[in-house]
Amino acid sequence: MAGGNTSIELSVHNDKPEPQPFVDALLDDYSDEELLHYIRQSPRLVTTVKQAVLILSPGLLAKAVGGTCYDDPMDEICAMQRARALGINVPAFRRLVPADDCGTHYLVMERVIGDTLEKRWRNLGLWGTLRAAWKLRGYLRLLRTVTAQTTGGLHSGRTRCPWLDDQRGPVRNASPVAFVGYLNWWLVDCRPQYCTPHPELVLKLAKEHILVHQDLAPRNMILDPRGTLWLVDWGISGFYPEYMEFFWDRRHIVVTLDVVVEGTHMGGMDTREAFGAVSVRTQRFRLDKTPFSGEL
User: Please, are residues 203 and 268 in contact by the beta-carbon 8 Å criterion?
Assistant: no
What's the pLDDT score for residue 293?
65
Domains and CATH numbers, the chain: 24-110 (3.30.200), 115-284 (3.90.1200)
User: Whole-angstrom Cα distance, residue 18 to residue 5?
Assistant: 36
* HEC assignment per residue over 44-85: EEECCCEEEEEEEECCEEEEEEECCCCCCHHHHHHHHHHHHH
Q: What is the mean pLDDT of the chain?
A: 83
Could you report how far apart the first and last alpha carbons of the chain are, in Å? 83
Alpha-carbon gap, residue 146 to 211, rounded angstroms:
6
Are 168 and 290 in contact by the 8 Å Cβ rule? The answer is yes
What are the residue ranges in the chain where pLDDT is below 70?
Answer: 1-17, 48-51, 69, 165-169, 247-269, 286-296
Q: How many Cβ atoms are within 10 Å of 238's Cβ, its own excluded?
A: 29
Does residue 262 contact residue 141 with C-beta atoms inside 8 Å?
no
**Residue 174: what pLDDT?**
94
**Dihedral of the alpha carbons of 99, 103, 106, 108, in degrees to the nearest 10:** 130
pLDDT of the residue at 273: 83
Angle between helices 73-86 and 125-143 (to 10 degrees): 110
Q: Which of 259, 271, 148, 258 is nearest to 212 (CA)?
A: 148
Compute the distance between CA of residue 92 and CA of residue 84 in angstroms, rounded to an integer. Answer: 8
